[in-house]
């Protein structure tokens, strides 16, 4: 049954090469939300698009770009993996609101308002003081709503996230985070946030990044699926998906770019512990091309129906994106 379903991973930043594209295809994943940029400027973001254009040209037998949900259906029919792009920060728009529409037309479908730190739009989850969505942020949210760009608050602080949910005329996502009730990491979300997100039609993608899981790299498949079941009991199955935050085969330099960008001379440990300085050990059940299928089977074993499991594994992402990417009427 797994192979017949639309399977969507709501966030990855792996080492994008042919070997990994072959792994993706073998995994049965239909589409992946690929992080295009972290701290890149508008000009640098265009170079990232150009690099992906070469990937699509050179590996057209394995991957294809996604600009709409019709492209995900086409990828499924063709046996390819659809790739759609998001930014983990608002840096691609510099300080210019008009670049939101420009980037959307280039294929940037999702944008986080912050990445851990205070941004021009909102407050990140590692700041001590959360001042909420800024004046620029309020206008950026309205513009993202207008052009059909998804708002993502995965790395944002509590007040900012709640305000973004309320300010947005369209449902938003938290593409890759877990409930703080399961593991109290700074980036994980409170029940208040999760309930507010769901009440407005939003979507939570469960992360498999070990630093944000109960028991870290020792988190079992059963414990992960129990976390999903607990959240389904809280807000309903229709608001849940997977956003693995998978970063396979990336060097330490990439981790430092993600955390430090250009703003820090010292290593940013994020969670405040030097023990988190490197990449965490991979989850043994989510480190090869069977990872998503393992979750699919784990959810069935947890007691979810086949329909519910299919929703969590991709159906909810598909519906959410189909509505959210359409330009405002």
Residues 6+ apart with CB under 8 A from 17: none
Q: What are the extents of the domains in the chain?
A: 2-324
Rounded Cα distance, 10 and 24, in Å:
14
CATH class of 2-324: alpha beta
pLDDT tens digits for 175-207?
A: 999 999 999 999 999 999 999 999 999 999 999
Rounded Cα distance, 39 and 41, in Å:
7
This prediction has a pTM of: 0.96
pLDDT tens digits for 241-295?
A: 999 999 999 989 998 888 899 998 888 876 555 556 788 999 999 988 999 999 9
Alpha helices in 148-220 (DSSP H): 158-167, 191-199
Q: What's the whole-number average pLDDT of the chain?
A: 96
Rounded Cα distance, 284 and 217, in Å:
8
């Amino acid at each position: 049954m797994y192979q017949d379903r639309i399977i969507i991973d709501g966030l990855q930043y792996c080492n994008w090469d042919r070997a990994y594209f072959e792994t993706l295809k073998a995994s049965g994943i239909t589409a992946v939300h690929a992080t295009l940029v972290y701290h890149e400027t508008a000009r640098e973001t265009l170079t990232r698009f150009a690099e992906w254009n070469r990937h699509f040209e050179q590996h057209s037998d394995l991957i294809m770009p996604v600009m709409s949900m019709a492209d995900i259906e086409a990828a499924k029919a063709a046996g390819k993996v659809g790739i759609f792009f998001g930014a983990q920060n608002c840096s691609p728009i510099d300080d210019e609101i008009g670049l939101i529409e420009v980037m959307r037309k280039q294929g940037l479908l999702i944008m986080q308002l912050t990445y851990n730190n205070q941004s021009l739009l909102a407050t990140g989850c590692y700041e001590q003081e959360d001042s909420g969505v800024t004046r620029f942020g309020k206008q950026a949210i309205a513009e993202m709503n207008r052009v059909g760009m998804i708002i993502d608050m995965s790395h944002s602080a509590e007040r900012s996230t709640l305000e973004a949910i309320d300010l947005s005329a369209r449902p938003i996502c938290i593409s890759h985070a877990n409930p703080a009730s399961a593991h109290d990491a700074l980036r994980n979300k409170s029940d208040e946030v999760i309930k507010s997100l769901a009440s407005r039609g939003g979507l939570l993608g469960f992360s498999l990044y070990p630093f944000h899981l109960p028991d870290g790299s020792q988190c079992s498949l059963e414990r992960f699926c129990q976390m999903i079941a607990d959240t389904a009991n809280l807000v309903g199955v229709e608001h849940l998906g997977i956003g693995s935050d998978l970063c396979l085969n990336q060097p330490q330099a990439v981790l430092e770019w993600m955390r430090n960008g250009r703003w820090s001379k010292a290593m940013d440990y994020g969670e405040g512990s030097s023990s988190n300085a490197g990449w965490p050990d991979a989850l043994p059940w989510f480190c090869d091309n069977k990872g998503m299928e393992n979750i699919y089977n784990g959810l069935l074993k947890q007691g979810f129906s086949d329909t519910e499991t299919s929703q969590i594994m991709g159906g909810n992402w598909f519906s959410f994106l189909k509505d959210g990417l359409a330009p405002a009427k």
